[in-house]
Amino acid sequence: MNFILPEWPAPTRVNAVITTRIGGVSRGQYSSLNLGAHVGDDPVAVTQNRASLQSALKLSGEPLWLQQVHGCDVVEREQASAGCEADAICATTPGQVCAVLTADCLPLLLCDRLGTRVCAVHAGWRGLAGGVIEAALRRFDCPGDEVLAWLGPAIGPERFEVGGEVRKRFVEQNSEAEAAFRAVSGNHWLADIYLLARQRLAQCSVGFVGGGQYCTVSDPKRFFSYRRDGMTGRMASLIWIDPD
């Protein structure tokens, strides 16, 4: 398997990993490490991929896989059930793995500087505009500057074309969002989802923000991309606290 490890000043007890599409058993459009059970892949292959991931990372238990709906609901890992509708998941109990699935949307990993709380966030443009980052940060019992954030692989600013209504929604909320959009033709714009997220994190005074250098659409060898392929798999972004 091929993983991306965040480069951030997280405490050593916090583990964070982002998968690529490399290292699984799925075939065709889902080749090869597809971890999404909702995208039309062979369920047996997905189960095997998930088991292999758990083994490779030496996880004490399987991640709780959410039913992501591009909303702003945040759940606690210790209280949530598999398949619950939410787009962010937090945990304070060591060994409880938080995970989100993506294939162009932005995966965001959060932890506090003491390593007492972690969170995984699925942030497409609808979730960003709706406040999913702010909702996740409200689960942290500390000032924003005590929180660390890592932006995982998402659609890059040269490939994320949106309509004028998307730009309007962000700019109406914050005029600084204008810097994240570049006109291309008619009422269409290229959007920088990384910058939009960084702006929101800055407004919440988050102390460290890293990542944000990938483009899922432009790197078919490493990343699934819904915008590029339509029918495709999903990568996972996972974060957990080491068991005591």
Domain ranges of the chain: 11-241
209's tokens: 């923000």
CA 39 centroid distance within chain: 17
Q: Does the domain formed by 11-241 have CATH 3.60.140.10?
A: yes
Q: Do residues 80 and 56 touch, judged by C-beta distance below 8 A?
A: no
**Distance in angstroms (rounded) separating the CA atoms of residues 58 and 26:** 21
Place of tokens 């406040």: 131
In the prediction, which pLDDT does 244 show?
A: 72
**Distance in angstroms (rounded) separating the CA atoms of residues 91 and 109:** 12
**Distance in angstroms (rounded) separating the CA atoms of residues 3 and 236:** 10
**Distance in angstroms (rounded) separating the CA atoms of residues 118 and 37:** 24
Q: Do residues 200 and 180 touch, judged by C-beta distance below 8 A?
A: no
What single-letter DSSP state applies at residue 144?
G
**Distance in angstroms (rounded) separating the CA atoms of residues 17 and 5:** 5
Mean pLDDT by 10 residues, the chain (244 residues): 96 98 98 98 98 95 94 96 95 97 98 98 98 98 97 98 98 98 95 98 98 98 98 98 88
Determine phi and psi for 18, rounding to 5 degrees. -120, 130
